[in-house]
A and B are shown apart, each in its own frame.
Chain A
């Protein structure tokens, strides 16, 4: 026979577990939905080449800028914050 105190403790722990699961699922799904809804972006090197992931290793200088990508494949507005828009890796 399980005591009522023990039963209550199990119930509260289960509730806490469900809250934690809910938080994880909400955060995961929310991030995926936000990412899917976000307009596509593309990185463009100084010479005009496009890439999803620029490599500027060792240069120490800005070498690529990120742009929004229009539906027809042309470049849209640059993502204006220079600190974020240019990779100096």
Chain B
């Protein structure tokens, strides 16, 4: 009976873990799509941001969405190779910390605020961006925690390697 309860709980945790991974990928897919669709506006926004060197804007406008693509690919392929998933989730967390830190800086220095077109959605205020980013950070942290609980690494495989 105890074993069955444990199995059921484990299954629920796996479902939560999969949903978290899907949510994280959905966020980056949305971000990549928006930044590539509005590439010119994104590049202009980067060039106008006083915190960033103007000459770097054309490169950053490509590097940022492509980096998000690469991290997403790492996470997707990492579902087969748990070590890559670990790497992907940590890079995801690092990127989100960087983006959230940037938003925090903007909110502390409102006179230097660039346009909202640099964020996840150009129609959101920077304050809303901060709340959303904090939520994504929490989700990423939870996904990493579940990952280290070997939820995915051991799905149906009790003798698998560490994630």
Contacts and interface: CB of A to CB of B under 8 A. Distances in A.
A and B from one complex:
yes
Contacts, number: 109
A73 interface: no
A17 B30 contact: no
Interface string A44-74: 0000000011110110100000000000000
Contact of B29 (A16, A31, A35): A31
B21 interface: yes
Interface of A: 5-6, 8-10, 12-14, 16-17, 19-21, 23-29, 31-32, 35-36, 52-55, 57-58, 60, 83-84, 87-89
Q: Chain A's interface: helix, strand, loop or mixed, by majority? A: helix
A16 B79 contact: yes
Give the one of A36, A60, A89 with max B CB within 10 A.
A89
Interface string B5-35: 0000000000000100110011011101110
A24 B76 contact: yes
Interface residues of B, number: 43
Given A13-B79, A35-B37, A57 B50 contact: yes
B116 A17 contact: no
B152 A16 contact: yes
Contacts of B50: 57
A57 B77 CA distance: 42
30 contacts: A5-B158, A6-B157, A6-B159, A12-B155, A13-B79, A17-B77, A17-B79, A17-B80, A19-B18, A20-B79, A23-B22, A24-B25, A24-B28, A28-B32, A35-B33, A35-B34, A35-B37, A35-B38, A52-B44, A53-B40, A53-B45, A53-B48, A53-B117, A55-B115, A57-B112, A58-B111, A83-B125, A84-B125, A89-B113, A89-B115
A60 B109 CA distance: 11
Give the one of B41, B116, B155 with max A CB within 10 A.
B155
B80 A13 contact: yes
B70 to A, nearest CB: 12
Give the one of A24, A29, A32, A35 with max B CB within 10 A.
A24
A29 B34 CA distance: 11
B134 interface: no
